[in-house]
Amino acid sequence: MIQPAQPINEKERLNALSSIELIKDIPEEEFDNITQLASYICKTPISVITIVEDEKNWLKSNHGGPPITEVERKYSHCGHAILEPGILMEVEDMRKDLRFYNNPFTTLPESPILFYAGMPLLDNDGFALGTLCVLDTKKNKLNDAQKKALKNLAKQVEKLFELRRKNRYLEKIKQELDDHNTLLKDFAGVVSHDMKMPLANMIITADLIKARYKHNVDEKGQELLLNLKKSALKLSDYINGILNHYESDRIVASKEVEFDLHHLLEDIIDLLNINDRCEINFPAENIFLKCNRAALEQIFINLINNSIKYNNKEKIIIDIESAIDENHYYFTVTDNGIGIPEDQLSNVFKLFKTLYITDRQGNQGNGIGLSTVKKLVESLHGNISVSSVLGESTSFKFDIKRA
């Protein structure tokens, strides 16, 4: 018997093998199907997919063979096969081959392995990671069609290996992105929270200076104090938007509850302290819902608040409609506001993308509120869209999945 030598690129080959992260000792149907088919085509009782490691061969799939999961590499047939990547190794009678004539598997008293045909399994860089092989307990010889089929089946195993490697790589990248995203969320939350108090102090201080020293500050100074307050309020609104955006993940985790739509909208009107200059028309038919109430409430708060802010009419009118089917709840929020230019409709849901329109106080949006709405709608397995007539109306339609 001759022990198999190591390939000259053994270190690189083992590194390539580890990158696939194959699972040991757990049967996988896609591999077992291939060995079963190989055995059937080649008319051999045994077919295995072997992985050649540093000191062991382990069997990723074992069809018809002894109930073993690994073999010492020095006794393996596949250790010899991988020395010639791309070439099918066939041994018709192990007893007549110096490499195997007194191998423990050749000299078994019952069911000795006398025939072997193995095709090395290569990765994209040409490293031989193992073999797809067929074995028999008697002398044998594959015909040309069987050899071609065994090579084609080996190509399928190689594709499974590459798919596994890519999936593992993508999983690691996703985990890294999730970790970075979590860090960014935490950072944004901490920074935004810590900035709220200094901004509040700036706003209060500006008001105190105007009130206490109004006779000592000239008109230009009063204007500068007003600009300071406006800037602080705008930054405060921006920070609140960021906090709400990242808080949406926590809102989505809220439990589903049963409630009626009219009651939800009444609570929102009380919360927003809406006055008589704003008319909000509820759906004609009240519907009962079972879903994430906190998330739906946040969606309506943002949409209704936008309808009020971006409206230059003496009488603000907001119409809310609803519908229901077996799988979804459907909602529409329409206002008689300033509308959105057609060329900007595609940007309304993009985070930090501001539109070239101002609200009732002449302030420009921060590009966070509607992005948060879209994020919440999609987390509830729904979709949202917008249509608008400039100077006349804007309509948001969205749906969410029923519990």
Q: How far is CA 121 from the centre of its chain?
A: 31
Residue 338 to residues 272, 305, 361: CA-CA distances in angstroms?
Answer: 20, 14, 13
Give the global pTM: 0.53
Contact 232, 206 (CB under 8 A): yes
As a whole number of angstroms, the distance between CA 61 and CA 69 comes to: 9
User: In the chain, which residues have pLDDT < 70?
Assistant: 25, 181-197, 233-254, 352-367
C-beta of residue 394 within 8 angstroms of C-beta of residue 285:
no
pLDDT at position 156, please? 96
- As given in the structure block, the two tokens for residue 175 are 């985990």
Cβ distance 262 to 286 under 8 Å?
Answer: yes
Instruction: Give 304's DSSP letter.
Output: H
Buried b (16+ CB within 10 A) or exposed e, 136-156: beeebebeeebbebbeebbeb
Question: Residue 369: what pLDDT?
Answer: 75
What pLDDT was estimated at residue 248?
Answer: 58
Give me the pLDDT at residue 189, please. Answer: 63
Start-end of CATH 3.30.565.10 domains in the chain? 254-403
Which pLDDT value is given to residue 193?
61
Structure token digits, residue 331? 């909602």
Kindly calculate the radius of gyration of the chain based on its CA atoms and give it in whole angstroms.
Answer: 35
The answer to whether residues 282 and 262 touch, using CB atoms and an 8 Å cutoff, is: yes
Q: CA-to-CA distance for 75 and 4, rounded, in angstroms?
A: 8
Task: Supply the pLDDT for residue 225.
Answer: 79
Q: What are phi and psi of 401, to 5 degrees?
A: -80, 140
**3-state SS, one letter per residue, for 1-59:** CCCCCCCCCHHHHHHHHHHHCCCCCCCCHHHHHHHHHHHHHHCCCEEEEEEECCCEEEE
Dihedral, 155, 161, 167, 172 alpha carbons, nearest 10: -150
CB atoms within 10 A of CB 51: 20
CATH topology of domain 254-403: Heat Shock Protein 90 (3.30.565)
Dihedral sign (CA 349, 353, 357, 358)? positive
Residues of the chain with CATH 3.30.450.40: 10-170
Residue 272: its pLDDT value, please?
80
What strand order describes the sheet that includes 278-281?
Answer: 278-281, 316-324, 328-335, 393-401, 384-389
Architecture per CATH, 10-170: 2-Layer Sandwich (3.30)
What pLDDT sits at residue 358?
60
Token look-up 């093998």 returns 17
C-alpha to C-alpha distance for 181 and 191, rounded to whole angstroms: 15
Q: Is 71 exposed, middle or buried (0-12, 13-18, 19+ CB in 10 A)?
A: buried
CA-to-CA dists, residue 39 to 34, 148, 239, angstroms? 9, 14, 66
Please choose, from the candidates 3, 154, 142, 152, the residue with its C-alpha nearest in 3D space to the C-alpha of residue 77: 3
For 136-185, the pLDDT digits (tens) are 999 999 999 999 999 999 999 999 999 988 888 888 888 887 777 666 66
Q: Are strands 316-324 and 384-389 parallel, antiparallel or unpaired?
A: unpaired
Handedness of CA 75, 76, 80, 82 (dihedral sign): negative
Supply the pLDDT for residue 118.
Answer: 96
